Amino acid sequence: MKQTEVCVIGSGPGGYVAAIKAAQLGKKVLVIDRDKVGGVCLNCGCIPSKALITAAGFYDKMQNGAAEMGITAGKTSVDMTKLQTWKQGVVNKLTGGVGQLLKANGCEYMTGEAKFKSPKELEVKTADGKTEVIQATSFIIATGSRPIEIPGFAFDQKNVLSSTEALSLDDLPKRLAVIGGGYIGLEIGSFYQKFGVEVTIIEATKGILTGVVDSDCSQVVARKLKKKGVNIIVNAKAISFKKSGSDLSVTISVDGKEQTVATDKILVTVGRKPNSDQLGLSAIGLKIDAKGFIQVDKQLRTNISHIFAIGDIAGQPMLAHKASREGIIAAEVIAGKNVVMDVKTIPAVIFTDPEIASAGMTVEEAQSKGFEVKVGQFPYAANGRALSMLESEGFVKIVTDKKNNVVLGVHIVGGEASQVISEAALAIEMGATAEDIASTIHPHPTLPEMMMEAAEAALGHPIHIFVKPDRERPLRPTSPPR
């Protein structure tokens, strides 16, 4: 029998942050994970995917952008084995760092499969086959989510891949069929396309990222994908696949008519589901909704007051930074602080080409909540830094309340949008107005200048684009890029 004050189940960006914070607040902490420290995000999700996306971006620039700058590159090739070794090196540095932080803060770490024996006890099956019983005063469940399988396409790690296997291939396939036009499928499909793979996106709805991001942003990405040669098939349902030698044939139904897609690998990215079915939660009476998410209040408490849940398993959005914030809140509540999860926005980034980043409400969301909106938009094509980076596609869009110019949402599509969105999140969180952003001096030449310029456009007096009176949507730039 092992006893502790706080037992954290899962060591991803929610779990390890919760553990460290609880330890900093004076609690005795035990962390349990069935695999490596760092969870999905560090080991087979956020970090490895962004490493590969970065490598693909370098390759693409060398192949297609360098000549425009007057740089003639020699023969460019991809050594996937070496690339995977480099990617794993990045992962190892980060997971090793997290392990050291847990140890430095006095957290104990255990590897094993955990299952609730009672509301106060866990049974943990360790790697050596032993079973340990853990008693704790408080529990934090942070066990995350896993890829969803669809009928006829069970993951076999060879022909049909989840995102995990797709990030670990040592050889480039000639063709890749991606079932699902959401952010995971588009991110992975995009980097494979840049390495020369023929990519087909099979999406069940009317377009990629439908209902996920601002529709104008998704259209820019769709145009770029098609320009790059990616085949996007919408209103398409994947039915089955057949294997003939090394070739695969995917049967799909498009508007009721069947057709086939030839490919070498199939990547299924239709979403993720919470890992709430692996902990014996129903046996202890923990409330779970119809989609498998654990129900929590604003303090991340479940219906069993000493058990908390954070991250993917506690509901949308399934984002690492949301999990980390929830982990801090849960730890502080356990330590006796009167705090709640109270945020105006959780920013999101999609690492497509170009990137999409958003914070706050879209125009449609704001209007549905009764706001009369005013929109300011500034194009990448009018920003000097963007042009110097060969990133002329995209825009920054600011959605404001027409009554008082308070910023309601910001949506960016373009190169390094991920580096610009944090200013937008801060603006929304602090209740900033378009005047606040427009009157803040932004350094030149930088991409964040477009936040200032879009705010000025929302106010009706942009400098580096021309907007006719009574128009809220800027026209093409008519002056030199700033």
Q: For residues 319 and 407, give the distance between their C-alpha atoms in angstroms, rounded to a whole number.
A: 23
Residue of 442, 444, 461, 464 with catalytic role? 444
Q: For residues 173 and 198, give the distance between their C-alpha atoms in angstroms, rounded to a whole number.
A: 8
Q: For residues 389 and 223, give the distance between their C-alpha atoms in angstroms, rounded to a whole number.
A: 19
Q: Answer yes or no: 464 catalytic.
A: no
- Name every residue whose Cβ is closer than 8 Å to that of residue 213 and which is 6 or more positions away in sequence: 348, 350, 356, 358, 362, 411
Cα-based distances in Å from 482 to 314, 387, 446, 463: 44, 10, 9, 9
Q: For residues 315 and 330, give the distance between their C-alpha atoms in angstroms, rounded to a whole number.
A: 15
Nearest to 47 by CA among 164, 155, 144: 164
Q: For residues 110 and 123, give the distance between their C-alpha atoms in angstroms, rounded to a whole number.
A: 12
- Name every residue whose Cβ is closer than 8 Å to that of residue 159 and which is 6 or more positions away in sequence: 241, 243, 248, 265, 266
Cα torsion at 429, 433, 438, 442 (round to 10°)?
Answer: -10
Q: For residues 322 and 338, give the distance between their C-alpha atoms in angstroms, rounded to a whole number.
A: 19
Residue 200: how many CA atoms within 13 Å on its side-chain side?
20
Q: Are 19 and 335 in contact (CB under 8 A)?
A: no
Q: Are 405 and 435 in contact (CB under 8 A)?
A: yes
**Which residues are known catalytic residues?**
444
